[in-house]
Every structure is written in C-alpha cells, then in structure tokens.
A and B are shown apart, each in its own frame.
Chain A
Amino acid sequence: MNALLQQLQNRQLIWHANQTEAPYEHCQSTGFPALDRLLGGGWPQHNVVELQSHGACAELQLISKALGQSGSDLLQVWINPPAALCAEYLLQQKRPLHQVLQLNAPRSADALWAAELCLKSGSCTDVLLWQNNLNLTQLKRLQLAAAQGQSQLYFFRPAMAEQQLLPWALSLQLTPVTTGLQIRILKRKGGWQQQEVLLPWAELYPQFIKPELHQKHSSHPPLSRVS
C-alpha cells in the first residue's frame, strides 16, 4: 500500500465497504412476524427506538410483547405519557404496578435528564418517553446511557413533515389507514430505509376486532358486568 494511503488510513479517513455498520447484535421479537421480517429480527436491544405517530394507533401494542419479556423484577418508567395510565391495562400486560413509575417533568431538559438517569441506573428495563424534540447530542447521550444500563428507550413523538436526520438505531413512522397500521422505516442502522409493511387491525387488536367482522358493527349480545 502506498504511503499516502497508509497515512490516510491511519487517520481513519478512508471508508471501507466491508466496515459498514453491522445491524444490531441482539433483537427482541415484536410478536408480529411481518414486522419482524421488516426489522430484520425485531427491536434492537439496549438502544433507543423512535416511534412517530399521532398517538392512539397501536404504538404500545407493537412494543407490548417486548415490554412483557424484559423481566418484571425491574422498573418500567413512563415519562410524560399523554394521559393517565390505566392500572387495569398494566395488569393485563402482567406488569406489577409497584414496578411502574410515572414521571411528570414539565421541562424537557428535566425529562431528558430523568430518562438518561433511569437508563443508566441499571434498575430499569424499559423507559418510555414522550417528547417533541431531540438533538444529536441528546440522542447520543441517551444511547450511551441505554447501553451502559442495558435498558431500552422507546421515544414517542408526533409525526412531523420535515425531520432532522438523527442516527437512530431504529426510527419508525406509524400511519393509521382503514385496513390497518402502515409502518414505514425512517431510519434503521445497517439496513435499508423506506420499506413499509401494513399490519391489519385485527392482528393488532385481537381482543376486540374479529378478522371477519372488522368492517361491520359487531353483533354479539351485550356484555354486562353488574355488581
């Protein structure tokens, strides 16, 4: 190799095609085979995942299997959720309520600080954060904290037209359509972007949508609970 090339390589100015970033080492299955195929295995572990949506369109349903598998002896932290948490829902997900923390941090700096602290503490498994803005430094800090504490951050934010490009391990855009939820990859480490998959509502909400009935008004007799 000639001297100039060697020098450039020593200064790490040369990009090798065989050194492209490998896809994440560990994956957690999403529970939806079609989505697993799209993501190359599932959610990247101990990292930061972004989910963009208008809300109330099955975004928690997508991660519920991953949350359920990450062990119930450690904390699950919800930072600035859009509304009050429903304890019955959490119990359905087999999550002990005293292992769930909800934080309200009106200032976004406080929310990010709390997320970082929880991630690196090692006593949390998952952190769910609702926030509008994030910059590159903040994302890097969160990623390092997640790797250090072996925890996972799900970052929820409203879908926005123009986006600053950030090095997410995985960033998804969720758009509800009549037949189901359209999931588009905005950014994926070591993979191709701009791929899409459509998950039908019946697969996302099996508890109240029957596959054959999902366009019609359900016709079974009224349930009643009277005490």
Chain B
Amino acid sequence: MSAQMEFWLYLYFPQLQLDKLLVLHSNTPATKTLSDKGKSHHLDLTAPLAIVGADHQLLQLNKAARQAGLTLGMGLASAAALCHQLQLIPHNAAQEQQQLQQLAQLLYQYCADIALQPNCGLVLKLSPMLALYGGAMQFWQQLQQVLQQAGYQYHFATAQQPLVARLLAQQGWDQFLLQNEQIQQQLKALPLQQAQLPDKLQEQLQRLGLTQLGDVLKIPQAELVRRFGVDMLHYLQQLTGTKPALLQFIQPAEHFEQQLDLLYEMERSDQLLGPLQHLFGLLQLYLQQRDQLAYQLELCLQQRQGQQQQLQLHSAQGEYQSKEWLKLCELQLERLKLNKPVIQLKLILRRAGPRYAQYKTLFAGKQQLYSALQLLSLLQARLGKDQIASPCLNNDLLPEQANRYTTALEPQTSIEGSLAAVRPAFLVDPPLVLDAEQQQQLQLYYGPERLSSGWWQQQSQHRDYYVGQNAQGQWLWLFRDLQQPEQLYLQGYFS
C-alpha cells in the first residue's frame, strides 16, 4: 500500500523569535560593546530575557532566565518576583511566521514537499527524497547541517502520518526512526494532555479515566465515533492515516522582499552593515536557487515616527554574491545622512535576470580585479549615477550640438562621413565671447573653416573657424559669426 511507504518528518521550532535575536546578535559585534556600556535601550542577550505572550505568560526563555528559575508558562508577576532585572519582549507571531517561511525556503533546496504548520512547525515529506539521497540517514544528516547553520533550536520526529509526527515532535522526542513499531509504542505512551484533541473531547475522555493515547486507541473506532461524534472520527483518521492529510506545500517565492527588525535603533549608517549582511545572505540564497543575477535592489530604511529613506542599488553587470552587494551598498551608505535612527530594514529585489558565464580578458595578460561593468557600478555607487558619462557624437555640424554625452559604456551607432581634420580636445559650451583686448592679443594660425548649418530651419548659423594662440601661449579654437564678423568666440581648447 502506498500509504505505508509514506514517511513524514516534523520539525518543531520552540523559540523562533528568541533564536532570531541570538543569531542577529552574533552577526553584529557592535551590539556587544554598546550593551557593555549599560545603555538602557539596548538588549543584553546574556542577561535574563523572556518573550511574553498576550496573556502575560512567558513563552520563550534564554539560558540566563532558566538559570534564574523561570519556567515556561509562568505568569509575569511571579517571574518579576523571581528575577527583577528580567528583560521582556512582546511575542510577535507575524515575525515568527516570516521566519518560518524563510526556513522553509532554505529547506526547499533539499526537500521538495514542505508544508507550514500552525505553531511554528514544518512538515517534510521524506519518502520521495530517499531515493535521491541514497538513504534516510544521509538525507537527515544533510538537513541537520542546514538547520544547525541556521542557528535555531528545534525538535523533530518522524512518522507515517503528519499528525503523529507532530505530536511526537512537540513532545520533544527527537528520534529519527523509520520503524513503525517503535513510533506506535511512543505514540501510545503519549499523555492525553499532549494529544492535541479538541478541549471538549479531551475533558470527556479524561472523565472516563483514560490518561494515555494508547488507552483511547484500544477502544474500537466505531464505538468511539458513536459516542464522541464526528470530531473524534476526523482525529482518528488523521492519527491512523486512513484519510490523507490536507497539506499545502510551499512554492518558492516569486519576489524577493525581506525585512529585518533591528535589535536597537541605529544612528550611524556603518552600523547597518552587520544586519545588511544577513539580508544580502538571504538574497544570495534566493538568487542561487533560481540561477539569477540581481541588477537593481531597493533598500528601505524604516525610521522612527514612520519616516523612511530609500536607497537604490544598481549593478551594471549583475551580481548574486552578498559580498559584492555589500560593497556597493557600503559606498552608497557612506554618502547617506540618516535623518532619524533606523529601526527596520527592508530589501526588495527590483530587477533580476538569468545568469550567464562572465567572460574576462584571458589573453590580454592582465589580472582583472573588476570588469568594466563592475567598475562602473562601484563608481556610480560612490559618485552618483549622473557624474559618469561617455562622450557621444550626434549627427550635426555645430560642435556644441554634435558632441554630447550619453550613458556610460553604451555601444553607439557610428555616424558615416569623414571626420574634420582639426578638432580640439576640449569644448567650451556655450561659446565664450572674447572682448576687444583679448582679440587684440590673439594670433591666428589656421582657417577659416566654414560651417553652415541650420539654414533649413529658422536658426541658420554660418561660422568661420580659426585656430589661434593667445598671449599665455594657449591654443584656442575660435569662430566668427558671419552676421557679426568683428566678434570672435572661443569654442574650444587644443591640448
């Protein structure tokens, strides 16, 4: 039977929110020095710390808090009595859900069928993956490695039915087994309080004197259903696997948009680099999974009082590696002045494309540190996009119209026709009027070269161009407008 071949792994993450803080803390060494100074608004993760639910119960505790004698589920009043310097953080279910999503995306690299479960759990379908990894233990080792790198605490269990795996994982069984007998044995010994029955059913069963799940399973199913109704039937069907579980498996995200709450308010832009590294790491993972390169990113710095600043990050060549993006971002942050302290970062991928092999000069005998496009991105990040340009030639006779600038490094269409013999390296735009004294000191060497342009429109121009040298010995490109022949204009410098 195919149902017997199915095996599920349930991963339960008991303290996602707290672990996230610890992971972030290890990424930002600056926090430690600041917290040592005893600033009140910085969290100290080595001192007792607890996550508190809406009903004022402790949900997650760090090591120091446990050592101080606090336990899970304790009320705030007794917690404060036991440990007066306890730091409290409100529980944030939305944030935990987001972290669970991230974990699922991370594991998607290794397992095809993953479903999110309520209460910080993930269920993975093992059976189809075993052939790929050549055995259950190899697969499990791979998963363990990934989970360890992510840095979250977890409990796990395997079973032929998702519900059984969940019950055992939340109990903290932590066994990776593919023998059904042992699993069933463990299941039968499960206390009824932990069986996740609807409250009413659980109370009724307990009044009958049943304490373990095994006691319930001994009673014939038909009898149970007749007495306890359709809820019992659903539960038993899930427990025995006679009805397939309704699971919605995750799909890889279509867009990359990640946000990160900072541990404390950051006032200097260089402090942001630690948390940013984490975000760019997620981006790298996203891009690697899709074999893509990112060309444009948007970074939103959420600040106090609902303000925000935005940064556009560009890479002309396209990058996926977090260290390259971090370098580009660092250059932009250097120029940025923060209006208000930053409390949250948000990174959005705006433009991405497929990844091609990047060719570098192999035969020129040069060691290339950056390609031309990478160089351009770095320059643009620090100097600003509009400070860098390539010259271009337009099809016009007037020098100030013909010689313009365009986007840097963009291939240009060539213009047919022969080039004029005499053109200076630098142009003055608009042309400068020379006064009588300056004209007196000039010595003309070459010309005239007549340019007549615009006669087909209203603004016709007829100019005679000369090369001259002024009293300082500088070589100038000059012209005389035929409508006022006594006046000389300076058009450019030979150099």
Contacts and interface: CB of A to CB of B under 8 A. Distances in A.
A60 B390 contact: no
A110 interface: yes
Interface stretch (A28-36, A165-173, A190-198, A201-209): A201-209
B446 A209 contact: yes
A23 B393 CA distance: 41
Interface string B413-456: 00000011111111111000000000000001111111111000
B285 interface: no
Given A114-B383, A218-B447, A75 B393 contact: no
Contacts of B371: 123
A86 interface: yes
Contacts of A59: 495
B409 interface: yes
B391 A57 contact: no
Interface stretch (A4-12, A14-22, A94-102): A94-102
B445 A86 contact: no
A56 B376 CA distance: 29
Interface stretch (B57-65, B268-276, B397-405): B397-405
Given A83-B426, A207-B421, A225 B444 contact: no
B246 interface: no
B133 to A, nearest CB: 43
A164 interface: no
A92 B374 CA distance: 28
A55 B427 contact: no
Nearest to A81: B426
A52 to B, nearest CB: 14
A104 B368 CA distance: 24
Given A55-B495, A225-B420, A85 B425 contact: yes
A75 B409 CA distance: 9
Most A C-beta atoms less than 10 A away, residue of B376, B387, B399, B410: B387
A149 interface: yes
Given A57-B473, A98-B409, A208-B467, A224 B449 contact: yes
A71 B474 contact: no
Contacts of B423: 86, 88-89, 92
A120 B392 CA distance: 26
B392 A97 contact: yes
Interface in A113-152: 113-114, 117-118, 120-124, 148-150
Given A56-B474, A113-B382, A222 B464 contact: yes
Contact of A223 (B389, B408, B449): B449
Contacts of A26: none
B295 interface: no
A99 to B, nearest CB: 8
A55 B493 contact: yes
B391 to A, nearest CB: 4
Given A75-B375, A177-B473, A101 B388 contact: yes
Contacts of A89: 423-425
Contact of A121 (B364, B368, B444): B368
A200 interface: no
A61 interface: yes
Contact of A227 (B392, B399, B452): B452
B316 to A, nearest CB: 12
B393 A87 contact: yes
A176 B473 contact: yes
A204 to B, nearest CB: 9
A84 interface: yes
Interface string A57-95: 111110000000001011100000111111111111000
Contact of B388 (A61, A81, A103, A175): A103
B412 interface: yes
B375 A86 contact: no
B397 A225 contact: yes
Contacts of A101: 376, 379, 388-390, 408-409
B483 interface: no
Given A91-B393, A150-B367, A60 B382 contact: no
Contacts of A82: 426, 493
28 contacts: A56-B426, A56-B475, A56-B476, A56-B494, A56-B495, A57-B495, A58-B494, A61-B495, A74-B361, A82-B426, A84-B405, A86-B391, A86-B427, A88-B393, A88-B423, A89-B423, A100-B390, A101-B408, A104-B387, A110-B382, A114-B383, A118-B375, A121-B368, A121-B374, A122-B367, A214-B445, A218-B445, A222-B447
Interface of B: 361, 364, 366-372, 374-376, 378-379, 382-383, 387-393, 397, 399, 402-405, 408-412, 419-429, 444-453, 464, 467, 469, 472-476, 492-495
Given A57-B495, A121-B370, 13 more contacts: A58-B475, A83-B428, A87-B403, A91-B393, A92-B423, A97-B392, A98-B390, A101-B388, A101-B390, A103-B379, A148-B369, A208-B445, A214-B445
